[in-house]
């Protein structure tokens, strides 16, 4: 009986084998599931939270500051020719467009013909994500810079308020940045500072990393300090649903966070909050901040070096804190015509020409942790 079974197996025709040898399923069709798993992407929010202007026929845009003035009593018989102290003082801020930022891919026509899934749309999306992510990162770095500087109005006795830096917690451990009570206190301190410096309550927002945000919403039920407009799934979204002291809270993986973008893993220290990596984080999660100073290639505004953000752990600001000028807004272009014929394919190109910098330092607040000394201006 055993011999008969062996003989039958030897004579069995396996339609999936190549030349009757090897893998019995080799020739069977591999079907496409219809699912395409998306590459790493982050939500981008900064563009709509600051002052944005379109630049035409020029390389930079000028913003004017006007300081306070005083009221004086008139002396009978004296001519009225303006205040005796020459107030109000005026200063300027110039934001220059950085070099053209691009992201591109070449799609070979034959590959596109043979592929059983749509290539161009997905590649275009990824290019758009890359530009938008860069956009957010530069704006958030500009706000951090503004939080560290004095006002451009420097006339004696008429100096306007400058930026604010608030320490989260009181220890020399970066773990304070994940303590919900510390964060709530920092938000109230920031709100008070913005009020004291005469910053409008309209358009105030806070941007934290995801783990900080979730620490806060977990504390809602116990602290009683967080005002919330919506319960349930909306509360979890991280899109400005909850408020502290009238400051809408967002989460982002693009803010400077202990010299990384959005998160930092490893043991707690003065420059790390002590977060265990979830594993398999790939290349883009906990990505190190790159140097982007005005001496670096393509950069015409100073966005700082990696070392400038060693203790940064969040931002609170009002929309006047930073400005963004666009000569070319984010857009995707695709070649066609003769170019496509010559190369038998198309280049998909995303491009962006923008620059960002702080505007009103008084409207910018940087949160820092792990050190008693506030991060230095740059």
Q: Which of 276, 274, 179, 170 is nearest to 219 (CA)?
A: 179
Question: Is the pLDDT at 304 greater than 80, yes or no?
Answer: yes
Q: Per-residue pLDDT for 238 more than 60?
A: no
Would you state the torsion angle of the CA atoms of residues 41, 130, 145, 287, taken in this order, to the nearest 10 degrees? 50
Q: What span, in angstroms and rounded, lies between the C-alpha atoms of 354 and 131?
A: 11
What is the pLDDT confidence band of residue 87, given thresholds at 50, 70 and 90? confident
Longest dimension (CA), the chain: 131
- Which one is predicted more confidently, 112 or 34? 112
Q: In the prediction, which pLDDT does 7 show?
A: 60
Q: Could you tell me which residues are beta bridge partners of residue 164? A: 365
Side-chain-side CA neighbours of 194 within 13 Å: the count stands at 30
- Chain-centroid distance, C-alpha 209: 10
Domain residue extents for the chain:
46-368
Query: How far apart are the C-alpha atoms of 132 and 143, rounded to whole Å?
Result: 17
- Residue 20: the pLDDT is 75
pLDDT in tens, 123-135: 888 898 899 999 9
């Amino acid at each position: 009986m055993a011999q008969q079974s062996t003989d039958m197996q030897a004579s069995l025709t396996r339609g999936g084998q190549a030349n009757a040898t090897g893998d019995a399923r080799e020739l069977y069709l591999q079907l496409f599931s219809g699912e395409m798993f998306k590459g790493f992407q982050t939500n981008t929010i900064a563009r709509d939270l600051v002052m944005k202007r379109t630049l035409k026929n020029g390389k930079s845009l000028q913003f004017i500051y006007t300081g306070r003035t005083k009221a004086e009593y008139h002396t009978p018989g004296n001519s009225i020719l303006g205040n005796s102290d020459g107030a109000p003082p005026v200063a300027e801020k110039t934001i220059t467009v950085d070099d053209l930022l691009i992201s591109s891919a070449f799609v070979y026509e034959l590959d596109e013909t043979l592929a059983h899934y749509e290539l161009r749309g997905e590649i275009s999306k990824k290019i758009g994500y890359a530009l938008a992510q860069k956009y957010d990162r530069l704006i958030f770095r500009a706000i951090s810079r503004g939080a560290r500087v004095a006002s451009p109005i420097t006339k004696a006795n008429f100096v306007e308020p400058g930026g604010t830096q608030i320490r989260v917690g009181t220890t020399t451990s970066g773990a304070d940045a994940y303590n919900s009570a510390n964060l709530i206190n920092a938000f109230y301190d920031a709100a008070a500072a913005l009020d004291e410096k005469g910053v409008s309550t309209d358009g105030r927002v806070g941007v934290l990393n995801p783990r900080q945000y979730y620490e806060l919403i977990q504390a809602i039920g116990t602290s009683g300090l967080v005002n919330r407009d919506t319960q349930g799934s909306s509360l979890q979204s991280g899109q400005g649903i909850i408020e502290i002291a009238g400051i809408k809270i967002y989460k982002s993986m693009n803010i400077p966070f202990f010299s990384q973008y959005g998160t930092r893993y490893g043991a707690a220290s003065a420059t790390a909050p002590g977060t265990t990596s979830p594993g398999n984080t790939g290349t883009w999660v906990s990505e190190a901040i790159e140097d982007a100073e005005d001496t670096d290639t393509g950069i015409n505004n100073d966005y700082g070096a990696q070392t400038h953000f060693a203790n940064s752990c969040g931002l609170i600001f009002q929309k006047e804190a930073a400005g963004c000028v666009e000569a070319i807004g984010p857009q995707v272009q695709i070649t066609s015509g003769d170019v496509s014929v010559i190369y038998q394919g198309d280049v998909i190109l995303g491009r962006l020409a923008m620059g960002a910098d702080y505007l009103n330092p008084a409207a910018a607040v940087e949160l820092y942790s792990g050190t008693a000394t506030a991060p230095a201006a740059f």
